[in-house]
């Protein structure tokens, strides 16, 4: 049975969903933008027999607290620090890591700081290579080099309802995507106070992730974790080349293309679950 809970992490309320037997290996699932832990709602029950699955909402997302920008720094370093403390509060010190979109730089920061805790990595459109950045990132790279207020304002359309919906539908077959996921993301984007400015802070801070890519890659080379890069190959944000790049640093990495877009779990949760179980439990 899925459980839904809130836990206090250094004065911040963090929501998470969990399923499975706590005697099983922990699988930490980290969501991306503009979503939250509900992205894993179909996958987690499929893995509950083999893992104890834990999926938190990051700060400023979903049901977790969304403090004022002057009380919390909306950066990927801050998000990773909260997740590390979240794991400590829950008593988790060894886990498999599922990273998607924004979850990748958060998760790889955890791996850099505590490589001994990582049992394996599932990257589903969770990019850590420059060759994985699609064409749309060129505008963001230009913005990072000259972060004017006018340039910042141009990203406001990223939070529009139509944009969020199209992120889900892009690269997918007609009729393959339920409206549940994007409808909930649209709801949160309109409900959370000052949502656009908080997300703009994260867009600007994303440059720190790209700067860390070499360190993330060095971690992979040094520790050779078991890696499953399973990718919606029709994603135009984090493109297929980002999945293939894992083989450069972890030659034994398993790289699997899925005929899906960015939010591949929305159409292929069963396929992805089967691949995870095969990779980490059945070999």
Sign, Cα dihedral of 174, 176, 180, 182: negative
Q: CA 129, CA 117: separation in Å to the nearest integer?
A: 23
Q: Where are the alpha helices (DSSP H) in 119-264?
A: 137-145, 149-153, 161-169, 180-191, 195-223, 241-244, 246-249
CA atoms within 13 A on the CB side of 278: 10
The active-site residue, picked from 31, 38, 114, 262, is: 262
Strands (E), the chain: 3-9, 12-19, 26-30, 52-56, 95-99, 118-123, 227-232, 254-258
What the block records as the tokens of 141 is: 């790279």
Closest CA to 145 of 241, 210, 72, 232: 210
CB 148 within 8 A of CB 142: no
How many whole angstroms from its chain centre is CA 45?
Answer: 18
Instruction: Note if 262 is an active site residue.
Output: yes
How many whole angstroms from its chain centre is CA 14?
Answer: 16
CB 230 within 8 A of CB 260: no
Closest CA to 26 of 6, 46, 55: 55
Rounded (10°) angle between helices 195-223 and 76-90:
70
Point out the residues that are catalytic.
262
């Amino acid at each position: 049975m899925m459980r839904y809970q809130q836990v206090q992490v250094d004065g911040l309320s963090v929501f998470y969903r969990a399923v499975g037997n706590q005697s099983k290996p922990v699988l930490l699932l980290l969501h991306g933008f503009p979503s939250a832990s509900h992205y894993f709602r179909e996958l987690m029950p499929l893995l509950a027999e083999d893992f104890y699955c834990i999926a938190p909402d990051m700060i400023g997302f979903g049901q977790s607290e969304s403090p004022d920008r002057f009380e919390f720094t909306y950066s990927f370093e801050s998000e990773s620090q909260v997740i590390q403390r979240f794991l400590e509060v829950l008593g988790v010190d060894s886990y498999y890591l599922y990273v998607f979109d924004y979850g990748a730089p958060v998760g790889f920061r955890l791996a850099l700081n505590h490589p001994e805790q990582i049992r394996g990595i599932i990257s589903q459109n969770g990019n850590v290579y420059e060759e994985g950045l699609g064409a749309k990132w060129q505008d963001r790279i230009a913005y990072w080099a000259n972060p004017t207020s006018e340039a910042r304002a141009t990203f406001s359309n990223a939070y529009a309802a139509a944009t969020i919906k199209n992120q889900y539908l892009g690269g997918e077959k007609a009729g393959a995507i339920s409206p549940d996921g994007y409808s909930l993301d649209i709801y949160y984007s309109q409900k959370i106070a000052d949502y656009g400015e908080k997300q703009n802070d994260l867009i600007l801070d994303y440059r720190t992730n790209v700067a860390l890519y070499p360190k993330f890659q060095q971690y992979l080379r040094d520790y050779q974790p078991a890696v499953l890069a399973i990718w919606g190959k029709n994603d135009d944000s984090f493109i297929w080349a980002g999945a293939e790049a894992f083989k450069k640093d972890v030659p034994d990495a398993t790289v699997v293309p899925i005929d899906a877009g960015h939010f591949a779990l929305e159409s292929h949760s069963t396929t992805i679950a089967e691949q995870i179980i095969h990779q980490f439990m059945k070999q």
